[in-house]
Structure 1
Amino acid sequence: MSPAHETPDLYGAFPRLGPEETALLAAYGTRHPTLPGEVLIREGERWPAFYVVLDGTVAVIEASGHEERVRAVHGPGRFLGGLGLLTGQAEDLRAVACDPGVVLSVPVADLRGVVDEHPGIGDVILRAYLIRRGVLAELESGLRILGSRHAPGSRRLREFAARNRLPHKWIDLEDDKEARQLLDHLGFTPADVPVVILHGEKVLRAPGDAEVARAGGIPAPLAREMVGDLVVVGAGPAGLATALYAASEGLSTVVVDAVATGGQAAACARTKNHLGFPAGISGGELAERAADQAREAGAEFTVPARAVSLNRRERYYVVGLEDGRSVNAHTVVVATGVRYRTLEVPGAAEFQGAGLHYAATLTEAKLCLRAPVVVVGGGNDAGQAAIYLARRAARVRLLVPSADLGRSMSRYLADELRRDPGVRILLNTEVRELVGDAGGELRAVVAQDTRTGERREIEAVAVFVLIGAEPQTRWLSGEVALDEQGFVLTGPDVARLPASGTAARGEPWHERGRPFLLETSLMGVFAAGDVRAGSVKRISSAAGEGCVAVHLIDEHLKTTGHPPA
């Protein structure tokens, strides 16, 4: 096999290490001669070292059943691996030497010290790994998920893979008759679907999120009962910022999230008003960077792990998890964020996940290439989704409930939308019904002008709903004070409550005299980000609240006499 001649160089234009950077790395590693066909990493293994190619070439190969495809060929100055090398995930691909050569081998455990001492090297590595993850997603490498777009289990699994940025290929059994017949012949039943195929070999039948996470190489959640200074519930911008600053200050910090790091922000196609990114950055990439920073600072992540309860046990708060485990800590930060409100119109239930979506990531965008789509909403998320989809869809119709596009949208984004030829904005317009064709596929949206009452059909193969927000606080019911919409009350809002009504159980703040700015009705329990009543629903402000929360936690630990663990 001559891999170098079988595929275009997918990574050729992407960041690589120069001679000076390679020389700096050489002080931390060893030179390793390679022979043709030598395997440096196999599917399912974790990277033992960070490899830089000094001489010769190394092919990156994906195996699918009995077929093998070369995804890239790395020559001198290029380095192997992806984000999984930094996060401890197992590799989906194989790296094989094509010819006699030499690689520089730097132990993964030593890589953090290298990038701390030489930040420029870290920047090159991170940029390259993020780009590679995007390339693999475009190529639909990695997991194979077979399921029905009409089945809740299949939709859940696809969302989980997308939110965790696991490269995957979706095979819809409604469209792929051969795949459906194959499962029938092999004895698979409806109870076995969705089916996940990993590395072209391992097969999972109707797996849960945690099983797919482990199979996909996401590090397993900590098995021990975790005790520390702080547990952060939710890994969106507020939770990630809290984890980063808390761990940096020496607080033992554990982060739990029901689905993935990034929260709702990870579904943002691109934001252009985030400090430090004048050209914009996707929510997924921002989340990847923040999570890596927090891990490097010492924060521990356990994902997926859904919080279902909050209680007090002696000196600790206990966050109960869905799988029966618990996390104990002196303090808690609630950063569970919000979810978009569902569309309540005829046809919505029928097309859930099969034309009706509540996110506009690459996964959903692939389903509507060169086809007409509708985006519903008047906020920043809806505007960003419309611009992102306009690059792929035949045309985009943005249905805005209000009469003013700038009412709940940043001015720069509203101006960009008005200039975009691929987007048509319909103000004072709401969805009244989703309409399918004879084959059961989404065909159109029935929309109504709320001023005139006029109704019209708008052709669409997909509808992206990004309206309103519902706080994820059911697990807190009866434990901390919430407002009428379910958002967590903090600081001055809590101070105005009668002492007897601050919380059902626990240690109310009034025993200390007053609540801190972001403190809830329980002393030592804080809230940050979109889940907090009165918060500014922006990524930057959520991250800022996470930073402020850490300062308040430090003050709380000092006043209560609980030294950091």
Structure 2
Amino acid sequence: MPTPTQPSPASAPAADVHGAYPRLTDDQVAILRSCGQQRQVREGDHLFRAGERSEDFFVVLSGTVAVVERHDDQEHVVQLHGPHSFLGELGLLEGQTAFVSAVVHSPGEVLAVGSAALRDVLSREPALGDVILRAYLLRRTMLAGAGTGFRIVGSAFSADTRRLLEFAARNRLPHRWSDLEKDAEAEALLTRLGISPEETPVVVLHDCRVLRNPSNAELAQVVGLRHETAEKAVCDLLVVGAGPGGLAAAVNGACEGLSTVVLDAEATGGQAGTSSRIENYLGFPAGISGGELAERAVVQADRFGARIDVPAEAAGLEQHDGTSVVRLADGGTVTATNVVVATGARYRRLTAPGIERFEGVGVHYAATVWEARTCRFDPVAVVGGGNSAGQAALFLAAQSPAVHLLVRGADLEHSMSRYLIDRIERHPRIDVRLHTEVREVTGEDRVESVVVEDNRTHQRQVLAARALFVFIGARPATSWLAEALPLDRRGFIPTGPEVADTSADLWKRLGRAPLALEAGLPGVFAVGDVRSGSVKRVASAVGEGAMAVRLAHEHLGEVGPPAVR
């Protein structure tokens, strides 16, 4: 990689943005000095490079350090850091590769704190930890909005392009997309790299490495989302699914000393991670986005020693000699004394002409900053009458001139919280259309309009919309358990007293009844949306995740700890 040119201080952003670039106090720097090492740095030194994992947290003591991104053989200054500023973003805490580089702009001194020591400080000094975590969360969001990170080059009409875009967005990875049909730079980039359009989609990394149509797992490995294959040992707690319930189980299990592994087929956050704002979760009076809630939980679980692997798809469950073995889709296995099933539900796809063609590039099943950045200042449509649809409509209306909320039923009261209904009814840019269903999505190289029909009169109308956001419910993600556990008629997992009769002989041999969240096998628990009779709220899923760990301790007391760690 060529040596970066020195950034111009005049090109560096100077102002902080909502606390993304705070300066530490003298006392906070003193705390970090106690566990760090001071280093003299010269102009042009790299503290870390894009595409590499940084093992250190840096505080600038004197001099200046520029955070730069390389794009089209040019360097762009993201931020210029002075004394008492700290470097890095969320990836540092989660073990991901850096998406930008840090180059010393003027000589001075920095304080380097190792990642293990940093985690210890964050746990001992909550006020300092909150400053750092909040800044890192904001920086990740800003990188996303600026299109920083790796580049996905491919056609909007390629299923693999859409797959990669969805995976990057769901995992909140900074990236940008070069559309072969619309982006003039895309063809020039491919020519420069010696790649033909037929070889796309490709992922172009920071050091100009090219991944030709990588699988989600391959991309995850490169950016640090996925770790090496688990050692052949028995863990105390295996959590399948990294939504709120699964992450709560991971945090509680790891902090109580259980060896904990978390797997998810797609991304941390689950269905909640696709929500632009959750406003009825205890302790967040101003609300919190599903993505931020997930990131905070991931950092918390990692700090306590839980291992999170994404993507890692469970394909089956068996029990042998008191332990559970989860088979993975890639052929691997993970063995555990306790398993918490928190796979939640998969969103229902909308069926209408034009939908499939634009999925991921105009038709979305989530409404976060990652999807919204593609249709800023354009009219959009939202399908659904529940809380997720209401939250999406309000979020999108902050920048869209018109949001059409399309509801199949006769009112919003049936499935939407009152506080959302009141805000939607007062919002001047949200147009609620009841008794309305989508019949077609039209457009040439992007979504241009939505054809809707009144399901009473069958009268059709064309609405201008540059994107369609769909929230029409979800199905339980339990197909991998069909041969292992009893399921109810809708595919959800019965627990506790509901499974006592379905496997009475098993529980009779054990000499006990199934525990409250225990499914049809001892030591296997179900929490959150996947559980039959669950409340389908983030708070209840989190509570069930914590409760499952308490029940897992009871099961460990019954069978004893694993012989091999």
Match of 1:55 in 2: 62
Aligned-partner SS, 2:327: strand
Is the 1:38–1:97 contact (alpha carbons within 8 Å) kept by the matching residues of 2? yes
Match of 1:470 in 2: 475
- Counterpart check, 1:20 vs 2:19: no
- Counterpart check, 1:414 vs 2:413: no
2:557 is aligned with what amino acid? K
- Counterpart check, 1:260 vs 2:259: no
2:363 is aligned with what amino acid? L
Report the CA distance shift for 1:191/1:257 in structure 2 as closer, same or farther (over 3 A): farther
Tell me which of 115, 121, 140 is aligned to 1:114. Answer: 121
In the TM superposition, residue 109 of structure 1 has moved relative to its aligned partner by: 1.9
Deviation larger for 489-498 or 57-66: 489-498
Distance 2:480 2:553 in 1: 26
Is the 1:397–1:424 contact (alpha carbons within 8 Å) kept by the matching residues of 2? yes
Distance 2:216 2:503 in 1: 42
In the TM superposition, residue 225 of structure 1 has moved relative to its aligned partner by: 2.6
Match of 1:249 in 2: 256
Match of 1:138 in 2: 145
Report the CA distance shift for 1:553/1:125 in structure 2 as closer, same or farther (over 3 A): same
In the TM superposition, residue 81 of structure 1 has moved relative to its aligned partner by: 0.9
Distance 1:509 1:141 in 2: 58
Aligned-partner SS, 2:106: coil
Segments of structure 2 that go 5 or more residues without pairing to the other structure are 1-5
Distance 2:107 2:26 in 1: 21
Structure 1 residues 248-305: Cα deviation after superposition (integer angstroms, max 9, x where no partner): 1111111111122111111111111111111111111100000111111121112211
Is the 1:376–1:466 contact (alpha carbons within 8 Å) kept by the matching residues of 2? yes
Is the 1:89–1:219 contact (alpha carbons within 8 Å) kept by the matching residues of 2? no
Match of 2:379 in 1: 372
In the TM superposition, residue 563 of structure 1 has moved relative to its aligned partner by: 6.6
Distance 2:393 2:257 in 1: 42
1:341 is aligned with what amino acid? R
Match of 1:450 in 2: 455
Report the CA distance shift for 1:207/1:370 in structure 2 as closer, same or farther (over 3 A): same
Is the 2:383–2:471 contact (alpha carbons within 8 Å) kept by the matching residues of 1? yes
Is the 2:273–2:290 contact (alpha carbons within 8 Å) kept by the matching residues of 1? yes
TM-score norm. by structure 2 comes to 0.94
- Counterpart check, 1:436 vs 2:427: no
Deviation larger for 510-519 or 368-377: 510-519
Match of 2:294 in 1: 287
Between the two proteins, the alignment pairs up a number of residues equal to 557
In the TM superposition, residue 118 of structure 1 has moved relative to its aligned partner by: 1.6
Tell me which of 325, 342, 347 is aligned to 1:335. Answer: 342
Aligned-partner SS, 1:158: helix
Match of 1:398 in 2: 405
Aligned-partner SS, 2:326: strand
Segments of structure 1 that go 5 or more residues without pairing to the other structure are 501-506
Is the 2:65–2:102 contact (alpha carbons within 8 Å) kept by the matching residues of 1? yes
Quote the RMSD (CA, aligned, Å).
2.0
Is the 1:234–1:258 contact (alpha carbons within 8 Å) kept by the matching residues of 2? yes
In the TM superposition, residue 508 of structure 1 has moved relative to its aligned partner by: 5.8
In the TM superposition, residue 223 of structure 1 has moved relative to its aligned partner by: 4.1
Distance 2:214 2:33 in 1: 43
Alignment of 1:5-154 (within 5 A): 5-9=10-14, 11=16, 14=19, 15-154=22-161
In the TM superposition, residue 132 of structure 1 has moved relative to its aligned partner by: 0.6
Distance 1:50 1:409 in 2: 44
Distance 2:445 2:169 in 1: 25
In the TM superposition, residue 63 of structure 1 has moved relative to its aligned partner by: 1.6
Is the 1:221–1:303 contact (alpha carbons within 8 Å) kept by the matching residues of 2? no
Is the 2:40–2:108 contact (alpha carbons within 8 Å) kept by the matching residues of 1? yes
1:149 is aligned with what amino acid? A
Distance 1:418 1:548 in 2: 38
Is the 1:34–1:100 contact (alpha carbons within 8 Å) kept by the matching residues of 2? yes
Structure 1 residues 157-200: Cα deviation after superposition (integer angstroms, max 9, x where no partner): 11111111110011111212552475378664566321101005
1:270 is aligned with what amino acid? R
Report the CA distance shift for 1:495/1:349 in structure 2 as closer, same or farther (over 3 A): same
Report the CA distance shift for 1:181/1:62 in structure 2 as closer, same or farther (over 3 A): closer
Is the 1:150–1:353 contact (alpha carbons within 8 Å) kept by the matching residues of 2? no
Structure 1 residues 480-499: Cα deviation after superposition (integer angstroms, max 9, x where no partner): 01111111111122124363
Match of 2:3 in 1: none
Match of 2:312 in 1: 305
